[in-house]
Amino acid sequence: MFPKIPIISKEIEAYITDLLGENITSKYFNNISTPMEEYTLHVYKNEKIIDEILQTLQRNKFQASVHREYSNLIICSPNGPFKLDSQSNLKKIVVDTKASEMIYQGADVYVPGVKRANKVKQGDIVQVVNQQNIHVANAEAQMSQKEMLENRKGLAAKNLQSPYVVPSVEQLNLDNLPIYFQSFPAYLASLNLEPKADERILDCCAAPGNKTIHLSEIAGDKARVVAVDRSKNRLRKLSEKIDKFRIKNIEITSGDIIELSKKWNIKFDKILIDPPCTALGLRPRLSINTTKEAIKSMSRYQKAIFHACNELIKPQGEVIYSTCTISREENEDVITYANEKLGFETIEQRYRHSDYASVVEDSKYPVQRFIPGIHKTLGYFIAKMRKI
């Protein structure tokens, strides 16, 4: 019924069809395996550098323009699709799913993502394939197979040809500037929390921290922002970004918010909950290996995070709940739990750019859904809630 890419189980194909309907599901599968049509580059505070960035993007043959409503966003499109040269005699580097989806859109091949590189020598022109044997790029090996096994880090192969090329801050040599790529719905999630000066704000699943920094920016760097995440490595990257942007009002804490909520004796004015999810909205997806049981399990964890945040929010405090997935269990079911069990109400969002709301029939929730094939971005869900 649908294209062979992404590779997906019959169970999840049927689940998504039942969720979205035949028409939207077809559009979803036709687009989920491609990069977003529009990438948003967030310029932190310094809009004077926008012309320089636009010129760099255009010099590198990317279409780019300033967003018509948000002057600190640059919209740019990926290049492609390009047909890959396929030569059966080339050696192969096999990479994991996550790495393959980055390489498919122009990224180089790094050793941690490599699964196999049989008989590959430095300088070889190789095919890069994922574990389902989908051809994602042609590349030039920078290491031999032996060196990859011994080093376990570094550049394994230079991408020479991929189906798509997506703009990258590092590859454009713009990494000295206060800018970062952030999906448009994620940008809206921070805007809709509407943080203000002197408020205490919690970003409870913060890394890599783009929304954390945006929350501080919206409040003029005068809110007290606490960023929590379980991953110390990802928090280190957030810390580096905070130092680069010279932000002084963000406090970083390592740990699981569920456990931390049992120890803290503080209350927040506003909380952003963007929890781990099944990521059925991320693009491109070349292989989707989740299950219905995994979706239900993730939903239980998300409800536990919301329960923890319930202990940390002030009366009349506001919460943004957002995910980059499309399932009902991880979206509508979680906010229903918050409404019916935790004493929240779902309220209107000031910044709306999607007419698609709940997939639940007769639902009155004023949420926003973004769906690949309908929108030029990733799949995303945003709900705004107030503690009664």
| CATH of segment(s) 91-161 | 2.30.130.10
Report phi then psi at 273, rounded to 5. -115, 105
Task: Answer whether residue 341 shows pLDDT above 80.
Answer: yes
Task: Answer whether residue 152 shows pLDDT above 90.
Answer: no
Task: Answer whether residue 75 shows pLDDT above 50.
Answer: yes
Task: Answer whether residue 148 shows pLDDT above 90.
Answer: yes
Closest by CA position to 16, among listed 352, 278, 304: 278
Task: Answer whether residue 3 shows pLDDT above 60.
Answer: no
Can you say whether the dihedral through the CA atoms of 185, 187, 190, 191 is positive or negative? negative
> What's the rounded Cα separation, in Å, for the pair 303 and 301?
5
The pLDDT-based confidence of 288 (bands split at 50, 70, 90) is: very high
Q: Which fold has domain 183-387?
A: Rossmann fold (3.40.50)
Report phi then psi at 241, rounded to 5. -70, -40
Task: Answer whether residue 120 shows pLDDT above 90.
Answer: yes
pLDDT at 355: 79
Report phi then psi at 6, rounded to 5. -80, 155
56 close to 174: Cβ distance less than 8 angstroms: yes
Query: Mind giving me the DSSP string for 232-295?
Result: HHHHHHHHHHHHHHT--SEEEEES-HHHHHHH----EEEEEE------TT-S--SEE---HHHH
pLDDT at 86: 87
pLDDT tens-digit profile of 216-239?
Answer: 999 999 999 999 999 888 899 899
User: Which residues, other chains included, contact 284 with Cβ-Cβ below 8 Å and sequence gap of 6+?
Assistant: 6, 32, 33, 34, 35, 101, 104, 105, 164
pLDDT at 374: 92
pLDDT at 192: 98
Which tokens belong to 43? 């310029």
Task: Answer whether residue 4 shows pLDDT above 70.
Answer: no
The pLDDT-based confidence of 1 (bands split at 50, 70, 90) is: very low
pLDDT at 151: 87
User: Considering 76, 204, 277, 324, which one is annotated as catalytic?
Assistant: 324
Q: Where are the domains of the chain?
A: 91-161, 183-387
User: Which of the residue ranges 105-109, 344-348, 355-359, 382-386 would you say has the lowest mean pLDDT?
Assistant: 355-359
> What's the rounded Cα separation, in Å, for the pair 200 and 41?
27
Residue 211's SS3 state is helix
Task: Answer whether residue 358 shows pLDDT above 70.
Answer: no
Residue 324 annotated in active site: yes
pLDDT at 78: 96
pLDDT at 360: 66
132 close to 286: Cβ distance less than 8 angstroms: yes
194 close to 262: Cβ distance less than 8 angstroms: no
Which tokens belong to 272? 């952003």
pLDDT tens-digit profile of 164-219?
Answer: 999 999 989 998 999 999 999 999 999 999 999 999 999 999 988 999 999 999 99
Task: Answer whether residue 149 shows pLDDT above 80.
Answer: yes
pLDDT tens-digit profile of 35-49?
Answer: 999 999 999 988 899
377 close to 184: Cβ distance less than 8 angstroms: yes
Task: Answer whether residue 101 shows pLDDT above 60.
Answer: yes
* Chain mean pLDDT for the chain: 94
Residues in the chain, how many?
388
Which tokens belong to 228? 């929590």
